[in-house]
Amino acid sequence: MKEYVIIGNGTAATGCIEGIRSIDTESKITVVSAERHPVYCRPLISYYLEGKTDLERMQYRSADFYDKMGCKVLYGKTAAKIDTKTKHVLLDDGTALPYTAVCVAAGSSPFIPPMEGLDTVENKFSFMTLDDTLSLEAAIRKDSRVLIVGAGLIGLKCAEGLRDRVADITVCDLSDRVLSSILDTQCAAMMQAHLEANGIRFLLGDSAARFEKNTAFMKSGKTVDFDVLVLAVGVRANTSLVSDAGGSVNRGILVDNRMRTTAADIYAAGDCTEGDDISLGGKRVLAILPNAYMQGDCAGVNMAGGDKTFDKAIPMNSIGFFGLHAMTAGSYFGEDAGGSLYEEKGEGKLKRLFIRDGLLTGFILIGETERAGIYTSLIREKTPLDTLDFEMLKKVATSAAFSPKVRRKKFGGVV
Amino acid sequence: MKRVYVNEEWCLGCHLCEYICAFSNSGMTDMPTALKGKKIFPRIHIEGDEKISFAVSCRHCPDPICVKSCIAGALSKKDGVICVDQQKCVGCLTCVLVCPFGALSPGENGIMQKCELCLENSGGEPACVKNCPNRAIVYEEREENA
Q: How far apart are CA A125 and CA A344, in angstroms?
A: 40
B11 and B50 co-located in one domain: yes
Residue-level pLDDT at A140: 98
The phi and psi torsions of A123 (rounded to 5 degrees) equal -95, 80
Q: How far is B24 from chain A (nearest CA, A)?
A: 23
Residue-level pLDDT at B122: 63
pLDDT digits (tens, 9 = 90+) for A378-397: 999 999 999 999 999 999 99
By the 8 A CB rule, do A150 and A173 touch? yes
Q: How far apart are CA A65 and CA A69, in angstroms?
A: 6
B88 and B122 co-located in one domain: no
B24 and B74 co-located in one domain: no
Chain B residues within 8 angstroms (CB to CB) of chain A: 3, 5-8, 47-49, 52, 54, 56, 59, 65, 68-69, 71-73, 87-88, 90-102, 104-105, 142, 144-145
Question: CATH number, domain at B90?
Answer: 3.30.70.20
B7 and B28 co-located in one domain: yes
Q: How far apart are CA A163 and CA A149, in angstroms?
A: 15
Residue of B nearest to A316 (CA): B97
Q: Is B73 helix (H, G, I), strand (E, B) or coil?
A: coil
B51 and B7 co-located in one domain: yes
pLDDT digits (tens, 9 = 90+) for A71-111: 999 999 999 999 999 999 999 999 999 999 999 999 999 99
Percent over 70 (pLDDT), chain A: 99
Residue-level pLDDT at B119: 87
Query: Mean pLDDT score of chain A, rounded to an integer?
Result: 97
pLDDT digits (tens, 9 = 90+) for B38-68: 999 999 999 998 889 999 999 999 999 999 9
Q: How far is A377 from chain B (nearest CA, A)?
A: 5
pLDDT digits (tens, 9 = 90+) for B63-117: 999 999 999 999 999 999 999 999 999 999 999 999 999 999 999 999 999 999 9
By the 8 A CB rule, do A147 and A226 touch? yes
**Whether residue A245 has pLDDT greater than 80:** yes
First to last CA, chain A: 46
What is the ipTM score, two decimals? 0.96
Q: Do B98 and A373 touch (CB under 8 A)?
A: yes
Banded pLDDT at B146 (limits 50, 70, 90): very low
Residue-level pLDDT at A412: 85
Q: How far is A373 from chain B (nearest CA, A)?
A: 4
Which residue in B68, B72, B73 is closest to A294 by CB distance?
A: B68
> How many helices (H) and strands (E) in chain B?
5, 8
**Whether residue A415 has pLDDT greater than 50:** no
B74 and B107 co-located in one domain: yes
Banded pLDDT at A413 (limits 50, 70, 90): low
Beta strands A145-149 and A88-91 are: unpaired
What letters, b where the CB count within 10 A reaches 16 and e where it falls short, cover B72-99?
bbbbbeeeebbbbeeebbbbbbbbbbbb
By the 8 A CB rule, do B57 and B25 touch? no
Residue-level pLDDT at A270: 98
Q: Do A413 and B5 touch (CB under 8 A)?
A: yes
Average pLDDT over residues A284-312: 97
**Whether residue B144 has pLDDT greater than 70:** no
> Taking the CA atoms of chain B, what radius of gyration do you get in angstroms?
15
Torsion of CA A270, A273, A279, A280, to 10 degrees: 160
Residues of chain B with Cβ-Cβ distance to A414 below 8 Å are 7
Ordered domains of chain A (ranges, CATH)? 3-109+236-303 (3.50.50.60), 118-233 (3.50.50.60), 323-410 (3.30.390)
B65 and B105 co-located in one domain: yes
pLDDT digits (tens, 9 = 90+) for A182-198: 999 999 999 999 999 99
Q: How far is B121 from chain A (nearest CA, A)?
A: 24
Structural domain count of chain B: 2
B84 and B134 co-located in one domain: no
Single-letter amino acid, residue B2: K
B7 and B48 co-located in one domain: yes
Nearest to B72 by CA among A58, A131, A52: A58
Which residue in A397, A408, A412 is closest to B145 by CB distance?
A: A412
The domain in which residue B80 lies consists of 60-114
Residue-level pLDDT at B125: 87
Q: Do B93 and A325 touch (CB under 8 A)?
A: yes
Residue of A nearest to B89 (CA): A53
pLDDT digits (tens, 9 = 90+) for A65-74: 999 999 999 9
B35 and B80 co-located in one domain: no
Q: How far is B28 from chain A (nearest CA, A)?
A: 27
Residues of chain A with Cβ-Cβ distance to B96 below 8 Å are 318, 327, 369-373
Residues of chain A with Cβ-Cβ distance to B90 below 8 Å are 44, 47, 52-53
Q: Do A414 and B7 touch (CB under 8 A)?
A: yes
B126 and B81 co-located in one domain: no
Count CB neighbours of A322 within 10 A: 13
Residue of A nearest to B48 (CA): A400
Q: How far is A224 from chain B (nearest CA, A)?
A: 32
B6 and B40 co-located in one domain: yes
What letters, b where the CB count within 10 A reaches 16 and e where it falls short, cover A363-399?
bbbbbbbbbbbbbbbbbbeebebeebebeebbeebbb
By the 8 A CB rule, do B117 and B130 touch? no
Residue-level pLDDT at A39: 98
Average pLDDT over residues B11-25: 95
Residue of A nearest to B94 (CA): A318
By the 8 A CB rule, do A161 and A134 touch? no
